[in-house]
Amino acid sequence: MKDERRIVAEFLQRCNIYAKASIERKQERGEVDEIPRWQAYIEFNKHALEEIANGTLDRWFTQHENGTQEPLYRLDIDAMEHVERSTWLNNVLSPRPVVVAGTMDSKGVKNFAPLSSVMGVSTAPPYLTASFSIHKDKRPRDTLANMRVTGTVMLNLMPSTPRGAEIIDETGTPLPHGSDESILLDLQTVQDQPLLLTEAVAAIEAEYVEEHALPDAVARLTVMRVKAVWFSSTTVPSGGIDVLCQHGRDDITPAPDGWTRRVDKHYG
């Protein structure tokens, strides 16, 4: 809430700066009829700033009601069509980190694709899982197909910037098999590491272990073993790093964002 109050206060202050400049311009041009309205606007904003500062408007910055009410309704997932079901699950199980997976086929052609289903399931040994759907023409995703051949994948985590979101969006473009998505945005990679994006804030190097069919589903659950973590220094980042996540079905958002509370009771 503190950040939200600061942002609104700074916005109102900028509005008043603009309004005062407008009054000066109108005085120079002799357009005095509109000046009282601008002065009233400034006074209104000053009053709002005072109420933000003294806490009177704190109730305006609380969570929306639909996020605080009791979950009283049971919605049967099996009764939903695909889009509705997908929308509900993506919104409830959200946000999730998005990685740009870099792989290479047997001919050395690179492939980059966004993944939002990567999850850590074990630290000893260090295992990740991810789910891979298939194309409309029944082809497996290039990422999975390449992993089956070379056994290697680089999971690039993108910075929480418009450029990072653009990379996620563009690398999701459906292209013919064997196409290199890096040409869409002129993506650069680290020297001697053709799958490690220079714009990534971190990356996880992993190897393909095995995959499993999901009951009554076309998607395949894939297990990967972590081989290395790539970062800008050898110091463990305190409190995590600022990366992009999928929020809902199609939105990309930075995380962490807003307030944070550390939980440590699970250590016993």
pLDDT at residue 77, as a whole number: 79
Query: 35: Cβ–Cβ under 8 A, 6 or more apart, which residues?
Result: 23, 26, 27
- 92-232+241-259, what's its fold? Pnp Oxidase; Chain A (2.30.110)
- The domain ranges of the chain are 2-65, 92-232+241-259
Predicted confidence (pLDDT) per residue in 63-83, tens digit: 554 445 667 678 787 888 888
Query: How far is residue 267's CA from residue 226's CA, in Å, rounded to a whole number?
Result: 23
Predicted confidence (pLDDT) per residue in 140-197, tens digit: 889 999 999 999 999 999 888 888 888 988 888 877 776 776 777 788 999 999 999 9
pTM above 0.85, yes or no: no
- Do the beta carbons of residue 208 and residue 147 sit within 8 Å? yes
Predicted confidence (pLDDT) per residue in 6-53, tens digit: 888 889 999 999 999 999 998 988 888 889 999 999 999 998 888 888
Cα dist. 114→93, 108, 171 in Å? 18, 20, 6
Average pLDDT of the residues in 77-90: 80
- Residue 266 pLDDT greater than 50, yes or no: yes
Q: How many helices (H) and strands (E) does the chain have?
A: 6, 10
Sign of the Cα torsion 159, 160, 164, 168 reads positive
Q: Which residue has the higher pLDDT, 209 or 267?
A: 209
pLDDT at residue 102, as a whole number: 95
Give percent of the chain with pLDDT exceeding 70. 87
* 174 alpha carbon, distance to own chain's centre: 20
